[in-house]
Chains A and B, each alone.
Chain A
Amino acid sequence: MKVESFINDLQSVPWSLVAPIIILSFILMVIAFIDCFKHGRTNGPQWVWILVIVFINIAGPIAYFIFGRRND
């Protein structure tokens, strides 16, 4: 029963609308991740920022670009 309703829920999600959001936020995360890794100069420990980028959706990468990245 539960599995069935779960599948039902999944099918009712309008993927054509939601997919772009997921894809774009993933791209944002990848850009921030690669930059954080390569650029290397962060305010505060780099590994913390990597966690923030990977685990906080959308806001994490934004926070990294605004506060974490050292743009000098």
Chain B
Amino acid sequence: MRLWLILFKKEFKESLRNFKWLWIPLVLILLGIMQPVTSYFLPDILESFGDLPEGAILNFPVPTAAQVLAETIGQFNQIGVLIIVLAFMGIITGERNKGTNVMVLVKPVPFSTYITTKWVHMSLLMISAFLLGFLIALYYTFELIGTVPMSHVFKGMLVYCLWLLFITSILLLFSVLFNSTAAVAALTLGTTITLSLLSSLTPKLMAWSPGMLVSHTFRFFETGSAGDGFWLAAIITAVIIFISLVASTYIFKNKEVVSHTT
């Protein structure tokens, strides 16, 4: 545990020094402000492009607060996830390609410690940034549009965090498997996008899929209670996260730290 904290602190310090702990939350906060403000002004903005035929413009329904929160999560899920994945695509491959991992792993450091500190740190940064951004979005939504019961919001965010952990755990797995950071980013984004798309196109077939968690989040915002198949998707996601972590550790342990050079 002592050693685990030492490696974790190193990850934390590194991300403080390269400003990840500053710029990532800042970007999510910006996203969190922009979405409710845009929703609020959308009718006005459309009106100012006033060349539309008379009467056509007036039929924009003002979205409900829960809808705005869902739209915000939608934005986070696209731009936010893209940024996080790009920012952490080198989580294992970066040190491996640079060779800085050699002098750490030649010390009596368990491979599992090396892997899990990186994953926990990445997940912590990602969730903190998303929560901060979401809190700001919540404030703006409540001020501008209307309120949603806090228990709904809380449950929804909890479910969304599970989806975020799913993303970080497959990112870790791909990072252990492949040496190219571009491949890691492409595979992680590809997997999350495919799962999300399939889940929205064929929700019945994909009821088990982690990709369903995003729509379950929306459902919690709206009603505060679990939709059909929520527990199935949640449990399967938790299992996938666990398996990814165990597999990452196992594969990492059995991979050569240094490869043959000559």
Contacts and interface: CB of A to CB of B under 8 A. Distances in A.
How big is chain B's contact interface, by range?
20 to 34
Interface class of chain A by DSSP: helix
Interface in A15-72: 17-18, 20-21, 24-25, 27-28, 31-32, 35, 58, 61-62, 65-67, 69, 71-72
Contacts of A31: 19, 22-23, 26
Contacts of A67: 86
A62 B19 contact: no
Contacts of A18: 37
Nearest to A14: B41
B87 A65 contact: yes
Given A62-B83, A66-B87, A28 B18 contact: no
Interface stretch (B27-35, B150-158, B212-220): B27-35
Interface residues on A, range: 20 to 34
Nearest to B30: A24
A60 B28 CA distance: 15
A39 B33 CA distance: 30
B41 to A, nearest CB: 8
B94 A28 contact: no
B100 interface: yes
Contact of B27 (A14, A17, A20, A28): A28
Given A28-B26, A72-B100, A65 B37 contact: no
Nearest to A28: B26
10 contacts: A17-B37, A17-B40, A27-B26, A58-B27, A62-B23, A66-B83, A66-B87, A71-B90, A71-B94, A72-B98
